[in-house]
Structure 1
Amino acid sequence: MNLQMTKRNQLRIKYAIAFVLLLLVEVMIALYVHDTFVRPYVGDMLVVILVYSFTRIFIPERCRLLPLYVFLFAAGVEVLQYFKLVHVLGLEHNRFLRIVLGSVFDIKDIVSYGVGSMLLEAYERILG
C-alpha cells in the first residue's frame, strides 16, 4: 500500500470519528438541551461541521471551497423550510424527517451556519 493511500485512509478515519462524535453531540442536544442558546445556535453551528465531516469521509483531499459548499447546502435547506417543504411533501407527521429537514425558517439559523462555516474555513487555513 502506498503512502498516499495510507494518508487518505487515515484522514477518512479521522473524519468518520469526528462525524460520529458530532452526531452523538447533536442527538444529545436535541434530546436533552431545551434552552435558548445551545440548542438553537450551537446546534445549528455544529450541524455544518457535522455535514463537513461526513463529506470529508468520502472526499479526504483538501477541497478549498468545501466550507462554502456546506454553508450553501445548509442555507438551501433553511430556505426550503421557508417554503414549507415538509408540508409540501406530506411529511409533517414523520418526526424524524421533520427534524432532519426542519419545519420553521429562521434567518438566525443561516447566521449560525455561517459561523460554523467560518470556523471550518479557519480550520482549513490553519490545519488543512
Structure 2
Amino acid sequence: MKFTFFHNNINVLDLDKSVEFYKKALGLEVTKEFHAPDGSFKLVYLGDGTTPHSLELTWLRDMDRPYDLGDNESHLAFHVDDMDAALAFHKEMDCVCFENPDMGIYFINDPDGYWVEICPQ
C-alpha cells in the first residue's frame, strides 16, 4: 500500500479575495472548481503547474465569523528559486508576518490569517 499527497484544504471567508491572493503571492492558478447545487459551499482547487499537489479553498455560505486558527502552528510551505526577489515582492505586498534569517526562511499571511512558509529551493 502506498499513499501519495493529493491536496491540502483551508477554509476561507472571502473566496475571491483568497484566490487572488494565492494567484498574486505564489503564482497559483485555478485548476478545478465545484459549486454545491444548493449554494451552501464552493470548492476551488489551485495548483502550481509543476507538481500534482493542489490547495483546496473551501467557502461555506453560512460561515459568519473568521475561522479560529488556534495557535496557527499548521502552515503550508513553498520552495522558491529566488528568495531575495520573493521576499522583496512579499514585503511590497505587505504580507510578510515573520522572518527567520538564521534558518533562511520567512512566512507570509493570507487574507484569513493562515501562514505560508517560503523556503529556498
Whichever of the two has the greater Rg, that structure is: 1
Greater helix content: 1
Specify the TM-score bucket, using the shorter chain as the normaliser: under 0.3
TM-score, normalisation: structure 1: 0.25
Greater strand content: 2
Q: Which has the higher contact order (CA 8 A, sep 6+)?
A: 1
